[in-house]
Amino acid sequence: MYETFEHTADLRLHVAATDLEGLFTEAAHGLLSIFVDNPAAVRPQQEVEIRLTGEQYDYLLFDWLSELIYRFETEHLLLCEFQVTVSESGLSAIARGEPADPKRHQLAHEVKAITYHQLVVEPTKEGWRAELIVDI
């Protein structure tokens, strides 16, 4: 589950899941929903592999979402499906999506960056939760 909230020139993203893999996956879906108004229109036609190192889950989430932003900025790639594995040493993922197509994808926001400000990743009774701010 993810929710977005407007926050001045930013959007706040709240994410919850039963495990870390689900948390990182839901955060990626939340980011996609900031890129486009119709995330369901994005098709999993192209596959990329992403590997990140890191031991702190908050910084790893920052790096994960920053990598997805980078893929959009450099390849115009909208990613919609994710197979994520999170370990104590980092993250490995297979992500699928397609290049942005203005005829099919309703671009919503220009995402500039994820911020460290108020970045939280923590366990809960139900699993895990994250809060972060997306600079738009």
pLDDT tens column, 66-101: 999 999 999 999 999 999 999 999 999 999 999 999
10/133 Cα distance (integer angstroms): 6
Residues 79/97, Cβ–Cβ less than 8 Å: yes
The structure's pTM equals: 0.92
Average pLDDT estimate for 14-18: 97
Backbone φ, ψ for residue 91 (5° rounding): -135, 140
Provide CB contacts within 8 A for 50, sequence distance 6+: 64, 67, 91, 92, 93, 94, 95
Amino acid 72: pLDDT: 97
Average pLDDT over residues 102-118: 90
Query: Who contacts 51 (Cβ-Cβ below 8 Å, separation ≥6)?
Result: 90, 91, 92, 93
- Whole-angstrom CA distances from 108 to 14, 20, 49, 54, 92 are 18, 27, 26, 31, 28
Please tell me the predicted confidence (pLDDT) of residue 9. Answer: 74
Average confidence (pLDDT) over 31-52: 97
The pLDDT value given to residue 6: 59
Q: How confident is the model at residue 7 (pLDDT cuts 50, 70, 90)?
A: low
The identity of residue 5, as a single letter, is F
- For the domain spanning 2-135, the CATH number is 3.55.10.10
Question: Using alpha carbons only, what angle is made at residue 22 by residues 67 and 131, rounded to the nearest 5 degrees?
Answer: 65
